Homo-oligomer: A and B are copies of this chain.
């Protein structure tokens, strides 16, 4: 009967990968807390990159900035 929401950036997760997330989380809850898989609900929410912020920036800018920092350190 648990409910699990997984929020990730929308970057091409395949149906197979999503199926393995669903299976993996359901198994985990059965194994650790003895939850019934038959009534475990898992919802995956894929979020557009513009709509996901981290470090005060949209994730695309955040990654660019991170890469620039690494390039400078390596340069």
In angstroms, how far is the closest chain B Cβ from the Cβ of A53? Answer: 3
Task: Give the complex CA separation of A13 and B48 in angstroms.
Answer: 13
Tally A residues with Cβ within 8 Å of B.
49
Docked-complex contact A52 and B1, CB < 8 angstroms: yes
Interface residues of A (CB under 8 A from B): 1-9, 13, 15, 17-29, 32-33, 35, 37-47, 50-59, 61
In angstroms, how far is the closest chain B Cβ from the Cβ of A31? Answer: 8
Closest 10 A/B residue pairs (Cβ): A22-B53, A42-B53, A26-B56, A44-B51, A24-B28, A3-B7, A5-B5, A2-B8, A37-B56, A15-B50
Chain B residues with CB under 8 Å of A23's CB are 53, 56-57
